[in-house]
Amino acid sequence: MADKKKLVSEITSMDVDFAQWYTDIVKKAEMVDYSSVKGCVIMRPYAQALWENIQRTLDTMFKETGHENVAMPLFIPESLLQKEKDHVEGFAPEVAWVTHGGSEKLEERLCVRPTSETLFCEHYAKVVRSWRDLPKLYNQWCSVVRWEKTTRPFLRSREFWWQEGHTVHATAEEAMEETLRMLNIYARFAEEWLAIPVIKGEKTEKERFAGAEKTYTIEAMMHDCKALQSGTSHYFGDGFARAFDMQFTDKNNTLQYMYQTSWGMSTRMIGAIIMTHGDNDGLVLPPRIAPTQLVVIPVAAHKPGVTDKAQELLEVVKAAGVRAKIDLSDNSPGWKFAEYEMKGVPLRLEVGPRDIEQGQCVLVRRDTREKTVVRFEELAATVPALLEQIQQALYEKALRNREEHTYTAQSLEEMKAILQQHTGFIKSMWCGDRACEEKIKEETGMPSRCMPFEQEHIGDVCPVCGKPASKMVVWGIAY
């Protein structure tokens, strides 16, 4: 059996090679395994349990705001994908094509859905007839396929799991309201559940979703100061409705086109959790989303009464509403400590013979390693409070990281100078001209992340062309 040193030594330090550290973690924490299908991963039980917690939380938020789940087909006929010009241009280059069913060649190729706007459009065109049928607020949980060239577990893979909401409304105002409502849900979920601070804003035209009139995003900063787009919400106006002939009869008995939105969040958020909170000993999971919030580890478990007491404490903690488990395997305590640190379990409860004599046990925080001696009778109150403290501390630490690595620049030269010393977000003004945006990306490697809702006055002119600029943009190297 490996001791702590051995287990941990197999992870590359994040300061040496962040990308390798990430890859080591997803393997060592048993989150993914690679399959023989290139670019596709297996989500192992621990990652799946985390994803199920994410799903349950988001699904509840969706249902509380009136959304219903559906399941659309996995396939999209080529002719259906082609109905909306911008959309097909955006997605056709990266879809997988089914050409044969059994031994027969198909009359028409089917793509494996890269996203399901087209299927929802076709369905809404059929089932919505009058204003009484609106809005339709649908969501689906599924996997989608995009034939990416370079892949990384959770961050970019050929198949990934997500939810995609697709809604139709009688008016542009209602659709826009929905678009922003869902962006706010994503932001609240990221911040309150995943302890990941995000910047809410609008994407520039260049970075918009294929076919959208407006794309809104939440952008997070990872520990290495790169950006991760963490959830997007799109407003389509009636563009798809016109392409798919999605009409309804309004209250005045007139045919109108529907207004539409879509929004998605994916298993990418598992990557975000790893890269925001993880450290050189492994994962660090925010308590609210962690599959296991506390692990009980008996010390000197062979001594009389230790295992019984450990199990009794487990029940106390569980009764306090905590997701807890106990490790009674014959591995050494040191090995177990390292194992659950690797898995990012927020709290460890140690209890041995001497503790029992003194009527106490020890709680160890995964994030700070802080130890707290707790009397048995205080355990039920202490654990939930500590978990909340950890949740808050993780959020604040991530926020501090973002604040410390966010810079402002007045000119392209200043941007480049900052990037020679730092990685991070750079805020600057922008004139709104695509050419200037492209120039910044070309010269600095930073695409625009978004035009934040919370605007600041950085200056008066565009850092590239020098023309008057009233929009502040956040730039950053992105995953």
Contacting residues toward a copy of itself, per CB under 8 A: 33, 35-37, 40-45, 48-49, 51-52, 68-77, 80, 93-103, 110, 112, 119, 122-123, 126-127, 138, 142-143, 145, 147, 158-159, 161
Nearer to a copy of itself, 137 or 285 (CB): 137
Nearest approach, Cβ of 78 to a copy of itself (angstroms)?
A: 11
Nearest approach, Cβ of 279 to a copy of itself (angstroms)?
A: 25
Q: What long-range pairs does 329-336 form, CB within 8 A, spacing at least 24?
A: 331/1, 332/1, 332/3, 333/297, 333/298, 333/299, 334/3, 334/4, 335/1, 335/2, 335/3, 335/4, 335/7, 336/295, 336/297
| Token pair for 347 | 């709290």
Handedness of CA 85, 205, 200, 397 (dihedral sign): positive
Nearer to a copy of itself, 151 or 391 (CB): 151
Nearest approach, Cβ of 105 to a copy of itself (angstroms)?
A: 10
Nearer to a copy of itself, 112 or 225 (CB): 112
**Spatial separation of the C-alpha atoms in residues 205 and 203, rounded to whole Å:** 6
Closest CA to 345 of 296, 412, 406: 296
**Nearest 5°: phi and psi at 290?**
-65, 130
- Helical ranges in 280-424 per DSSP H: 306-319, 333-342, 353-358, 379-404, 412-421
Nearest approach, Cβ of 74 to a copy of itself (angstroms)?
A: 5
CB of 392 closer than 8 Å to CB of 441: no
Nearer to a copy of itself, 97 or 453 (CB): 97
**Spatial separation of the C-alpha atoms in residues 182 and 264, rounded to whole Å:** 9
Nearer to a copy of itself, 63 or 369 (CB): 63
- Helical ranges in 107-212 per DSSP H: 117-127, 172-188
Question: In the beta sheet, which residues pair with residue 34?
Answer: 41
Handedness of CA 375, 314, 335, 280 (dihedral sign): negative
How many whole angstroms from its chain centre is CA 59? Answer: 14
3-state DSSP assignment of residue 276: helix
**Spatial separation of the C-alpha atoms in residues 467 and 236, rounded to whole Å:** 30
Nearest approach, Cβ of 220 to a copy of itself (angstroms)?
A: 23
Looking at residue 131, its amino acid is W
Nearer to a copy of itself, 102 or 359 (CB): 102
Nearest approach, Cβ of 331 to a copy of itself (angstroms)?
A: 10
Nearer to a copy of itself, 101 or 304 (CB): 101
Nearer to a copy of itself, 36 or 421 (CB): 36
Nearest approach, Cβ of 47 to a copy of itself (angstroms)?
A: 8
Nearest approach, Cβ of 192 to a copy of itself (angstroms)?
A: 24
Nearest approach, Cβ of 159 to a copy of itself (angstroms)?
A: 5
Nearer to a copy of itself, 131 or 147 (CB): 147
Residue 302 neighbours by CB under 8 Å, 6+ apart: none
**Spatial separation of the C-alpha atoms in residues 359 and 299, rounded to whole Å:** 15
